[in-house]
Structure 1
Amino acid sequence: MRAIRTRRTTRLLAALTVAALSALGLTAAPAGAADTPPPGANNWACKPDSAHPHPVVLVNGTFKTSYENWLTLSPELAAAGHCVFSFEYGDLETAPIPDSAAELRDFVNAVLGATGAKKVDIVGHSQGGMMPRYYVKFLGGATKVDDLVGIVPSNHGTTNPLALVAGATLCPSCVDQTAGSEFLQKLNADPEAPVGPDYTAIATRYDEVVLPHTSAFLDGPASYVTDVLLQDRCPLDLTEHDQAPKSPLVEQWVLNALDRRGPADPAFVPRCASTG
């Protein structure tokens, strides 16, 4: 009888997870995709040049593989001259975020060892834009990260009630990303943006996952923290949470942040899709 109940509970949890992901606009990638890096990534023979001295580590969001998350941006960064790397972590990003941050630390060390670089740039989506801050703040990353660019990052979590549903289905990182969680209170205790990296946080008004969308933003000195709302420059842009890493507008902001000293230029004027 106990075995039957266990099977029923497992099926119920799986169904709830699928329902929660669908409602959030998120889908898990097909089996086997986790073994495939996105185009342009993980050339371990790549050596940074003087124009692009820091290899770029891409950190995907919850329930995503790096291939799915970075299918568009990774080859664009490589074509622009960056050495690009990506990895899978945290049981499809569901593990407790401190554990995933430790995996990021180890991967960054491997990238630095292979490339000979002194620092990396990190570009992350959703959880992947927030989780590296734990690495920076608590695991020694402050001296190893030059730029941290968060694409719709869950920096202050979300008030979306479906995050709690996902959390109930054996997703500790979903609980961590719930607004007001013990994890986020620790992460966002002053200072939110410790000295070390330059921080760029990119948000969209039409984010349906990180709610409110302003919870993506970071508090810190303008000298090394830039908060970007896509619609401030391109009012007709309709980018949502899941599509943000594939947005040409987001790509422009990412490259602006990576290719200059400091975070993204708040005065940067990108090309809006609506105007060509």
Structure 2
Amino acid sequence: MTHFLNLKDLSSNQIEEILLRASRLKKERDPTKHLEGKFLALIFEKASTRTRISFEVAMHQLGGLASFFPISELHLGRGEPLEDTAKVISSMVDAVVLRTLSHKTIDKFASVSSVPVINGLSDLSHPCQLLADLLTFYENKGDIKGKKITWVGDYNNMCYSYIEASELMDFKLHIACPKEYWPAEEIINNSSALFTEDIENAVMESDLVTTDVWVSMGNEEQSKKRNKIFKKFQVNPKLMDFAKEDAIFLHCLPAKRGLEISENMLEDKRSRVWEQAVNRLHAQKGLLLFLLTN
């Protein structure tokens, strides 16, 4: 049994297998009900649009069932140990998607779960989104190995997953971020990613430029300070001109127009954001099939 808590839970070959199957399902609109009789539990502590809908639709299209359970309506870590709840839930379903404030919750749940556990987003990482991003890159630019990818903005859960992806899929990652928001020295020293405050140099000749909000859920009280510090780290058409002519732009959404991106960036000819959003559905089909049928 395999969990998907971080990208590094899988090998590069396994990720490529998932992406290949996702791409094939997307093209063929395969009606085969591969997951008939399977049940997916979605247990979320944080609000969600794309993650929830894409997993529910994916299970339905693959012949299975999915139900959404807000943590506020469950005794998850309240009244009984989290591990006890996890044992019971996993005995009744075939897989669990957890979206939590703390990654430790996912680790604890997975440690006793009898079925695959998927990280639907945590404070540490967002591996499901990276599958969609990788799929979008493959469809537009081909093999990502050796390519230059640039992350612009806050070091957050998405940035962490990009670091993992760069090591697994062997691409060059440049991270343009204000120095005071860089991660711990241990992370920088153990990563092949290049951290810099020189945004134009980071984007220069990139194949992909990507970003995320400057203020993540739970950090709203820092909005004023962060928006001021990150102001020069906005992705806009002028910045994209430093990238390769055929470079693409991605954003995991939701986006704050006028902040981390200019008002018109999502509509720029280099943007593949809407395609990227749809690919959450297809990438997660590939993931579910990998976890539940292999």
User: So what's the TM-score if we normalise by structure 2?
Assistant: 0.31
Larger RCO: 1 or 2 (CA < 8 Å, sep 6+): 2
